[in-house]
Amino acid sequence: MRALNIGLAIVLAAVCAANLFVAPAPDRPPTDIVIVGRNMQYSRAAESYAASDLLPGGTVLQVPPSGTIPRGVRLARFDATPEGAIKAGAELKAPPTADGDRDRGAVVFSTFCTPCHGGKGLGDGTVVARGFPAPPSLLAPHAAQMPDGQIFHVIAYGQGNMPGYASQIPDEDRWRAIAYVRQLQRSATP
Protein backbone atom coordinates (compact mmCIF):
# COMPACT_ATOMS: atom_id res chain seq x y z
CA MET A 1 0.00 0.00 0.00
CA ARG A 2 2.84 2.34 0.83
CA ALA A 3 4.45 1.67 -2.56
CA LEU A 4 1.16 2.60 -4.27
CA ASN A 5 1.01 5.91 -2.40
CA ILE A 6 4.61 6.71 -3.32
CA GLY A 7 3.88 5.84 -6.96
CA LEU A 8 0.81 8.10 -6.99
CA ALA A 9 2.81 10.92 -5.41
CA ILE A 10 5.45 10.59 -8.14
CA VAL A 11 2.74 10.65 -10.84
CA LEU A 12 1.16 13.74 -9.23
CA ALA A 13 4.54 15.51 -9.12
CA ALA A 14 5.15 14.63 -12.79
CA VAL A 15 1.72 15.98 -13.82
CA CYS A 16 2.32 19.21 -11.89
CA ALA A 17 5.74 19.62 -13.51
CA ALA A 18 4.24 18.98 -16.95
CA ASN A 19 1.54 21.55 -16.21
CA LEU A 20 4.19 24.17 -15.45
CA PHE A 21 5.84 23.39 -18.78
CA VAL A 22 2.60 23.44 -20.80
CA ALA A 23 0.95 26.34 -18.93
CA PRO A 24 0.46 29.41 -21.12
CA ALA A 25 2.82 32.29 -20.63
CA PRO A 26 2.25 35.78 -22.00
CA ASP A 27 5.63 35.85 -23.75
CA ARG A 28 5.33 32.56 -25.70
CA PRO A 29 2.68 30.72 -27.72
CA PRO A 30 0.97 27.73 -26.12
CA THR A 31 2.69 24.37 -26.46
CA ASP A 32 0.87 21.96 -28.75
CA ILE A 33 1.17 18.46 -27.36
CA VAL A 34 -1.70 16.94 -29.39
CA ILE A 35 -0.56 16.14 -32.91
CA VAL A 36 -3.73 14.34 -34.08
CA GLY A 37 -6.26 16.75 -35.56
CA ARG A 38 -3.82 19.60 -36.25
CA ASN A 39 -5.70 20.51 -39.40
CA MET A 40 -8.85 21.11 -37.38
CA GLN A 41 -7.04 23.05 -34.68
CA TYR A 42 -5.18 25.27 -37.12
CA SER A 43 -7.63 25.54 -40.03
CA ARG A 44 -7.24 28.46 -42.40
CA ALA A 45 -10.07 30.95 -42.53
CA ALA A 46 -11.50 31.53 -45.99
CA GLU A 47 -11.48 35.04 -47.37
CA SER A 48 -14.98 36.42 -48.03
CA TYR A 49 -14.53 36.93 -51.76
CA ALA A 50 -12.34 33.87 -52.40
CA ALA A 51 -13.32 31.28 -54.99
CA SER A 52 -14.89 28.02 -53.84
CA ASP A 53 -15.60 24.84 -55.76
CA LEU A 54 -17.97 23.62 -53.03
CA LEU A 55 -20.43 26.50 -52.69
CA PRO A 56 -23.07 27.76 -55.13
CA GLY A 57 -21.96 30.72 -57.21
CA GLY A 58 -18.33 29.67 -56.93
CA THR A 59 -17.48 32.06 -54.07
CA VAL A 60 -17.25 31.77 -50.29
CA LEU A 61 -19.51 34.77 -49.71
CA GLN A 62 -23.16 33.75 -50.21
CA VAL A 63 -26.21 35.94 -50.69
CA PRO A 64 -28.64 35.53 -47.77
CA PRO A 65 -32.14 34.25 -48.60
CA SER A 66 -34.66 36.95 -49.43
CA GLY A 67 -36.51 38.41 -46.45
CA THR A 68 -34.38 36.79 -43.74
CA ILE A 69 -33.03 38.70 -40.76
CA PRO A 70 -29.28 38.69 -40.15
CA ARG A 71 -28.22 37.30 -36.79
CA GLY A 72 -28.12 39.95 -34.09
CA VAL A 73 -30.33 42.46 -35.96
CA ARG A 74 -33.23 43.78 -33.92
CA LEU A 75 -36.66 44.78 -35.19
CA ALA A 76 -36.16 48.50 -34.59
CA ARG A 77 -37.70 49.30 -37.98
CA PHE A 78 -41.10 47.95 -36.88
CA ASP A 79 -43.21 49.98 -34.49
CA ALA A 80 -44.99 48.25 -31.61
CA THR A 81 -48.37 48.98 -33.23
CA PRO A 82 -50.92 46.96 -35.23
CA GLU A 83 -49.60 48.69 -38.35
CA GLY A 84 -46.06 47.62 -37.44
CA ALA A 85 -47.30 44.03 -37.07
CA ILE A 86 -48.86 44.12 -40.54
CA LYS A 87 -45.65 45.60 -41.98
CA ALA A 88 -43.61 42.87 -40.26
CA GLY A 89 -45.99 40.26 -41.68
CA ALA A 90 -45.34 41.56 -45.18
CA GLU A 91 -41.57 41.93 -44.85
CA LEU A 92 -40.33 39.16 -42.53
CA LYS A 93 -40.02 35.57 -43.70
CA ALA A 94 -39.35 32.62 -41.44
CA PRO A 95 -35.94 31.00 -41.92
CA PRO A 96 -35.83 27.34 -42.94
CA THR A 97 -36.22 25.11 -39.90
CA ALA A 98 -34.85 21.70 -39.07
CA ASP A 99 -36.58 19.03 -37.00
CA GLY A 100 -34.48 19.99 -33.97
CA ASP A 101 -35.78 23.55 -34.32
CA ARG A 102 -39.35 22.29 -33.97
CA ASP A 103 -38.35 20.37 -30.84
CA ARG A 104 -36.89 23.57 -29.40
CA GLY A 105 -40.05 25.38 -30.54
CA ALA A 106 -42.13 22.95 -28.46
CA VAL A 107 -40.02 23.80 -25.39
CA VAL A 108 -40.38 27.56 -25.99
CA PHE A 109 -44.13 27.18 -26.58
CA SER A 110 -44.52 25.11 -23.42
CA THR A 111 -42.58 27.65 -21.35
CA PHE A 112 -44.02 30.93 -22.59
CA CYS A 113 -47.26 30.24 -24.48
CA THR A 114 -48.96 27.32 -22.70
CA PRO A 115 -49.96 29.25 -19.54
CA CYS A 116 -52.37 31.36 -21.62
CA HIS A 117 -52.91 29.52 -24.92
CA GLY A 118 -52.93 25.99 -23.47
CA GLY A 119 -50.93 22.95 -24.56
CA LYS A 120 -52.80 22.62 -27.87
CA GLY A 121 -53.10 26.35 -28.57
CA LEU A 122 -56.86 26.50 -27.96
CA GLY A 123 -56.75 29.49 -25.60
CA ASP A 124 -57.57 27.38 -22.53
CA GLY A 125 -54.42 27.76 -20.44
CA THR A 126 -54.18 27.71 -16.66
CA VAL A 127 -54.47 31.52 -16.33
CA VAL A 128 -57.89 31.34 -18.02
CA ALA A 129 -59.03 28.88 -15.34
CA ARG A 130 -57.98 31.49 -12.75
CA GLY A 131 -60.15 34.23 -14.28
CA PHE A 132 -57.83 35.90 -16.81
CA PRO A 133 -59.51 36.73 -20.14
CA ALA A 134 -59.12 33.90 -22.65
CA PRO A 135 -56.71 34.60 -25.51
CA PRO A 136 -57.73 33.70 -29.05
CA SER A 137 -57.20 30.15 -30.20
CA LEU A 138 -54.03 29.70 -32.25
CA LEU A 139 -55.97 27.16 -34.34
CA ALA A 140 -58.62 29.69 -35.40
CA PRO A 141 -58.67 30.65 -39.11
CA HIS A 142 -57.47 34.19 -38.28
CA ALA A 143 -54.33 32.85 -36.57
CA ALA A 144 -53.72 30.22 -39.24
CA GLN A 145 -53.84 32.86 -41.99
CA MET A 146 -51.59 35.32 -40.14
CA PRO A 147 -48.15 35.62 -41.81
CA ASP A 148 -45.17 34.29 -39.86
CA GLY A 149 -43.62 37.77 -39.67
CA GLN A 150 -46.75 39.16 -38.06
CA ILE A 151 -46.75 36.38 -35.44
CA PHE A 152 -43.06 37.12 -34.85
CA HIS A 153 -43.98 40.77 -34.23
CA VAL A 154 -46.82 39.82 -31.86
CA ILE A 155 -44.50 37.58 -29.84
CA ALA A 156 -41.91 40.37 -29.67
CA TYR A 157 -44.17 43.33 -28.87
CA GLY A 158 -47.38 41.75 -27.61
CA GLN A 159 -50.97 42.41 -28.64
CA GLY A 160 -54.11 43.10 -26.62
CA ASN A 161 -53.61 41.53 -23.17
CA MET A 162 -50.53 39.62 -24.32
CA PRO A 163 -47.23 41.14 -23.15
CA GLY A 164 -44.20 41.38 -25.39
CA TYR A 165 -41.52 38.71 -25.02
CA ALA A 166 -38.68 40.35 -26.95
CA SER A 167 -36.48 40.50 -23.84
CA GLN A 168 -37.16 36.88 -22.82
CA ILE A 169 -37.28 35.00 -26.13
CA PRO A 170 -34.38 35.40 -28.59
CA ASP A 171 -35.23 35.88 -32.28
CA GLU A 172 -34.23 32.33 -33.21
CA ASP A 173 -36.49 30.84 -30.54
CA ARG A 174 -39.42 33.00 -31.68
CA TRP A 175 -39.09 31.52 -35.17
CA ARG A 176 -38.92 28.03 -33.65
CA ALA A 177 -42.06 28.65 -31.60
CA ILE A 178 -43.83 29.83 -34.76
CA ALA A 179 -42.76 26.63 -36.54
CA TYR A 180 -44.25 24.65 -33.65
CA VAL A 181 -47.52 26.62 -33.80
CA ARG A 182 -47.70 25.92 -37.54
CA GLN A 183 -47.22 22.24 -36.74
CA LEU A 184 -50.12 22.41 -34.23
CA GLN A 185 -52.28 24.11 -36.85
CA ARG A 186 -51.48 21.46 -39.49
CA SER A 187 -52.21 18.62 -37.10
CA ALA A 188 -55.57 20.16 -36.11
CA THR A 189 -56.71 20.63 -39.72
CA PRO A 190 -58.62 17.54 -40.96
Residue range 129-183, pLDDT digits in tens: 898 999 999 999 999 999 999 999 999 999 988 999 988 999 889 999 999 999 9
Give the separation between CA 73 and CA 92, rounded to whole angstroms.
12
Q: Which pTM does this prediction carry? A: 0.60
Residue range 57-114, pLDDT digits in tens: 888 888 888 777 676 666 557 888 888 888 888 888 888 766 667 789 999 999 999 9
Q: How many CA atoms lie within 13 A of 8 on its CB side?
A: 5
pLDDT at 22: 66
User: Lowest-confidence range among 11-25, 27-41, 65-79, 105-119?
Assistant: 27-41
Give the separation between CA 127 and CA 163, rounded to whole angstroms.
14
